[in-house]
Amino acid sequence: MARSLASRRSSHRLAADAGLLVVAAAFVLPLVWVVLSSLDTGADLRVKVPDGITLDNFDAVLTPEITFTPLLNSLLLCGGGTALTVVCAALAAYPLSRFRSRFNRPFLLTILFATSLPITAIMVPVYALFVRVNLIDTMQGTIFFFAASQLPFAIWLMKNFMDGVPKELEEAAWTDGASSLQSLVRIVLPLMGPGVAVVTVFSFVMMWGNFFVPFMLLLTPDQMPASVSINDFFGNRGMVAYGQLAAFSIVYSTPVILLYVLISRRLGSGFALGGAVKG
């Protein structure tokens, strides 16, 4: 009986391991293709070791017109949109977390509903609005829309993290004469550093990979971000420069990886003063 139970557990474990390996392969193989193809001038859709390793693909794409200018545009758009999203989300989440009102739940449910709206469903009225207010083909208009599109989910995340900060610490600051804004900036936000980091990374990544919004709102080629300029590698009649596309993809992914590395320590730090009110 015991052997039969152990045998079943072993078979279940092997099945689970096999399933995880299949899922891992589904994620790893595209990454392997990108790395190998970026070093192969004759790259195609097959995953194969290049006959000779070369950096010609990187030399071809590392130019101001192909890479540097679009990457700078992406950094301006996504960096500005992320900063605006984090600031507005913190200011909106603070009263939702700290003050009780009968409107809190309806407001949060409305925010949750807003996160489910497909971006394509609202682009037509947004485009018409931007034309009317002269924000079409402007970097600031695209930044505003980036922030507005990410704000609902950012508020939801920020509010949940903010609920974990003890209110007693703020009450002590209020006793010393601090205002609500001062307690938010000097106490709440430093204690919820991992939450701010999560919102920052999530917002930046979602904006960084967004193709449709800048494609619709920006008209000047010199203002296009890298998420749109990558479409230039797909030529007419089905011709694709796979090697250059892979090299550009590696360069294009670098800022997101660097952002995660820079703030990864905040993601695992926890709430340092969370136990200050205990005991």
Nearest 10 degrees: Cα torsion 137, 139, 140, 144: 90
Amino acid at 43: A
Measured distance CA(264)–CA(257) in Å, rounded: 10
Residue range 164-173: average pLDDT?
82
List the CATH number of the domain containing 111: 1.10.3720.10
> Residue 252: its pLDDT value, please?
93
Asked if pLDDT for residue 8 goes beyond 80, the answer is no
- For residue 124, being part of any structural domain is answered with yes
Per this entry, what is the length of the chain? 279
Residue range 216-239: average pLDDT?
83
- For residue 34, being part of any structural domain is answered with no
Asked if pLDDT for residue 246 goes beyond 50, the answer is yes
| Residue 60: CA count within 13 A, CB half-sphere | 17
Domain span at 223: 69-231
| C-alpha dist (Å) from residue 76 to 70, 71, 100, 109, 213 | 10, 9, 37, 32, 15
| Residue 88: CA count within 13 A, CB half-sphere | 17
Confidence of residue 117 (pLDDT cuts 50, 70, 90): confident
Which residues have C-beta within 8 Å of that of residue 177, sequence separation ≥ 6? none
> Residue 174: its pLDDT value, please?
81
Contact 33, 47 (CB under 8 A): yes
Nearest 10 degrees: Cα torsion 136, 140, 144, 147: 130
- For residue 250, being part of any structural domain is answered with no
- For residue 42, being part of any structural domain is answered with no
Measured distance CA(48)–CA(11) in Å, rounded: 34
Place of tokens 């989300």: 89
Alpha-carbon dihedral sign for residues 103, 104, 109, 113: positive
- For residue 26, being part of any structural domain is answered with no
* pTM listed for this prediction: 0.82
Q: What is the pLDDT of residues 39-78, one digit of tens each?
A: 888 888 888 888 778 888 899 899 999 899 999 999 999 9
**What's the number of domains the chain is made of?**
1
- For residue 253, being part of any structural domain is answered with no
- For residue 7, being part of any structural domain is answered with no
Residue range 240-258: average pLDDT?
90
Task: Return the closest-CA partner of residue 154 out of 91, 100, 214, 98.
Answer: 91
Q: Token pair for residue 242? A: 């796979």
- For residue 244, being part of any structural domain is answered with no
> Residue 144: its pLDDT value, please?
95
> Residue 75: its pLDDT value, please?
95
Measured distance CA(35)–CA(19) in Å, rounded: 25
Between 154 and 169, the higher pLDDT residue: 154
Asked if pLDDT for residue 189 goes beyond 50, the answer is yes
Place of tokens 């977390």: 97
Helix (H) or strand (E) holding 16: helix 2-38
Q: Token pair for residue 168? A: 């007693």
